Amino acid sequence: MQAEASFIIRNARVLTMDDANPRASAVALAGNRILAVGPEAEIDAFSGPDTHVIDAKGGTVLPGFNEAHMHIFGGSAELRELSLAGVKGFDALAKALRDYAAEYPDRALLIAQHADYTVLSDDERVTRHHLDRILPDRAVLIFAPDHHTAWANTLALKGGGILEGRDVGIGNEIVMGDDGLATGELRESNAIRPVSALGETGGREMLGVGTGGDPEHVTDEERAGDIAILKEGLAYVASLGITSLQNMDGSLYQLEMLEEIEKTVGLPVRVRMPFHMKNFMPLSDLETKAAAWRARFDTDRLRSDFVKLFMDGVTESGTAVFVDDYAHQPGWKGEPLFTQEQFDTIAIAADKLGLPVAVHAIGDGAVRMVLNGYEAAIKANGKRDSRNRIEHIEVVHPDDIPRFKELGTVASMQPTHPPGSAGLPLEPYLSYIGEERWPYAFAWRTLVDAGAPIVFATDWPVSPLDPMHSIECAMSRTVWKDGLKDERLSLHETLAAYTRTGAWVEFMEDRKGMLKKGYLADVVVLSADIEATDVTALATVRPVTTICDGRITYQA
Ligand SMILES: [Zn+2]
């Protein structure tokens, strides 16, 4: 007697991501596992009276996408906020904000996202005065796409108690004007939080990134509201064919809410969440928090088993750290959030506890410091299979490229982030890093060719979450000037960075990331055959069905 399938997906172009059996036309699932992958005739034999048959209509079927770097709480909250993507010029900004204000007359703080640094014009930055002219009587906070910079109007600055400025710590800044008052530009989370705390969620969605800590006072009602926001976000994630997400901020508050969702209705997406180590935390937190969370949250659906840190900020606000000076600002290289010695100590201690590390490093100076720390851990503890990673790697120094392979460091990159991609402006980014560094910016082909394992993601809500859009960006990247190396990847390299390698980074390559007998039943059915789709049309291909852990989590 053959086992009976709970689902059979047939008439499909299955890309299994399993090199031993790369293609098939059908997949059978039973419970939360894959029963068989093969030709239709073979798979149909698993059909029984209770089998649910899905006709893929010739579309591609893949292992569910693994989004290797995102922020679930922040992203979920933003689904309720205004997006300024594509808005350009004062008049367009004014109209968008005024319409939004009219739509939500009761919101204490109007939050908008995705305002380019050049939203007004190429050479004029937003100040509180611009926003005051648009909405003098409502508190307004607008974020740059990278979320590292925001701009507030006078009412919002007053409400947050920071109109006269305040010391917000290294790497954070309330930009002050000649008049002794804040200009409205707020750099990094310590500067932004006093204002964002006035919003609907009290800014709680930003705490995982900002402090790694938990909110001090949360009423039952507020917590229920936060859970509702998370559920909306998780459903949205599943609607894009994603079955695994690796969160890049962490807090116990978020883990416990996710655990509650898992216990009540079930998580529609597998979640991996880190312990977020900030530079003011004692080293002992690695043991008492990170390792303790690992023991407590250790299922295939919700786990906390790594450490996240930020080494620098972002290029546009001058907080990214470079080996050499910024091209537009001689004498300034940026200031790291940890000293080399501090980071080495953390990298060694985490490694000793068997905790993988993921570090945000945008500038080549920050990337180098992180590689140095990983090297120090190998020297101190011996080489182990650590799967440590670096997030973003917007610029890498040529001398450091071979070190990724040597140290076994994973490159975690975002195809939607290069200036000129996904509608992002070229400036001020390209002038800030300067032409000499262009060949080493967003150099994913270069890193892959040098033997670095690579995973892709969007850093949602920094850029749109849709994996198909991101895959198109990875494959259609254009050069900034003639003669620069073509950094595009092939479809199969890109898909691997969205599936199989993501599972490997999570130490779960023995059960997910491929469509293979016995593996977890995480599958996405797409609306078309992506191998027969022109690269420029990949983003039009939509998920039709998402299955996670043997359960349909999205149906178009
Ligand atoms: Zn991030």
And the tokens for 217? 């006072």
CA of 11 relative to ligand 1 center, distance in Å: 38
Amino acid at 322: F
- Ligand 1 ion: nearby residues, β-carbon < 5 Å: 248, 459
Residues 237-266 pLDDT 10s: 999 999 999 999 999 999 999 999 999 999
CA of 5 relative to ligand 1 center, distance in Å: 39
pLDDT at 516 over 60: yes
CA of 16 relative to ligand 1 center, distance in Å: 29
pLDDT at 146: 81
CA of 308 relative to ligand 1 center, distance in Å: 10
CA of 487 relative to ligand 1 center, distance in Å: 22
Mean pLDDT of 411-427: 91
CA of 412 relative to ligand 1 center, distance in Å: 10
Per mean pLDDT, which range of 167-181, 196-210, 315-329 is the poorest?
196-210
Mean pLDDT of 44-64: 97
Mean pLDDT of 226-245: 97
CA of 92 relative to ligand 1 center, distance in Å: 28
pLDDT at 539: 96
pLDDT at 11: 98
CA of 234 relative to ligand 1 center, distance in Å: 17
Residue 318 CB: number of other CB atoms within 10 A? 18
408 φ/ψ sector (left φ>0, alpha ψ -120 to 50, else beta)? left
pLDDT at 394: 98
Cα 41 to Cα 47, 50, 435, distances in angstroms:
11, 18, 57
Q: Which residues pair with 34 in a beta bridge?
A: 29
pLDDT at 212 over 70: yes
Closest Cα partner for 315 from 419, 461, 238? 419
CA of 153 relative to ligand 1 center, distance in Å: 26
CA of 8 relative to ligand 1 center, distance in Å: 37
Per mean pLDDT, which range of 122-126, 148-152, 444-448, 537-541 is the poorest?
122-126
CA of 207 relative to ligand 1 center, distance in Å: 13
Is-contact 333 326, C-beta < 8 A?
yes
CA of 32 relative to ligand 1 center, distance in Å: 30
CA of 68 relative to ligand 1 center, distance in Å: 10
CA of 167 relative to ligand 1 center, distance in Å: 24
For residues 178 and 303, what is the distance between their CA atoms, to the nearest angstrom? 49
Cα 521 to Cα 52, 65, 310, 516, 538, distances in angstroms:
14, 12, 34, 9, 25
For residues 376 and 383, what is the distance between their CA atoms, to the nearest angstrom? 10
Mean pLDDT of 311-318: 92
Mean pLDDT of 150-170: 95
Cα 547 to Cα 14, 64, 134, 388, 458, distances in angstroms:
15, 8, 45, 29, 21
Residue ranges with strand state E in 443-520: 454-456
CA of 520 relative to ligand 1 center, distance in Å: 27
CA of 70 relative to ligand 1 center, distance in Å: 6
For residues 422 and 433, the model is more confident at 433
CA of 239 relative to ligand 1 center, distance in Å: 21
Cα 403 to Cα 232, 298, 368, 400, distances in angstroms:
41, 31, 9, 5
For residues 477 and 523, what is the distance between their CA atoms, to the nearest angstrom? 27
Please list, in sequence order, all residues whose beta carbon lies within 8 angstroms of the beta carbon of residue 529, skipping any fewer than 6 positions away: 13, 58, 59, 60
Is-contact 168 137, C-beta < 8 A?
no
CA of 158 relative to ligand 1 center, distance in Å: 29
Start-to-end Cα distance in the chain: 34
Residues 97-150 pLDDT 10s: 999 999 999 999 999 999 999 999 988 999 999 999 999 999 999 999 888 899
CA of 320 relative to ligand 1 center, distance in Å: 14
Q: Considering the entire predicted model, what is its pTM?
A: 0.92
Is-contact 465 85, C-beta < 8 A?
no
CA of 248 relative to ligand 1 center, distance in Å: 6
CA of 459 relative to ligand 1 center, distance in Å: 5
Residues 317-355 pLDDT 10s: 899 999 999 999 999 999 999 999 999 999 999 999 999
- How confident is the prediction for the chain on average, in pLDDT? 96
CA of 417 relative to ligand 1 center, distance in Å: 11
For residues 202 and 218, what is the distance between their CA atoms, to the nearest angstrom? 9
Please list, in sequence order, all residues whose beta carbon lies within 8 angstroms of the beta carbon of residue 435, skipping any fewer than 6 positions away: 327, 481
For residues 98 and 320, what is the distance between their CA atoms, to the nearest angstrom? 33
Is-contact 228 49, C-beta < 8 A?
no
CA of 35 relative to ligand 1 center, distance in Å: 36
At 422, is the pLDDT very low, low, confident or very high (cuts 50, 70, 90)? confident
Closest Cα partner for 500 from 7, 10, 20? 20
Closest Cα partner for 332 from 187, 440, 439, 433? 433
Residues 299-309 pLDDT 10s: 999 999 999 99
CA of 430 relative to ligand 1 center, distance in Å: 21
Mean pLDDT of 289-297: 98
CA of 50 relative to ligand 1 center, distance in Å: 43
CA of 506 relative to ligand 1 center, distance in Å: 17
pLDDT at 1: 52
CA of 391 relative to ligand 1 center, distance in Å: 8
CA of 41 relative to ligand 1 center, distance in Å: 45
At residue 274, φ and ψ (nearest 5 deg) are -90, 170
pLDDT at 3: 86
pLDDT at 438: 97
Question: b/e string for 352-387 if b means 16 or more Cβ within 10 A?
Answer: eeebbbbbbbbbbbbbbbbbbbbbbbbeeeeeeebb
For residue 486, the SS3 value is: coil
pLDDT at 210 over 70: yes
Percent of all residues in the chain with a pLDDT value above 70, rounded to a whole number: 100
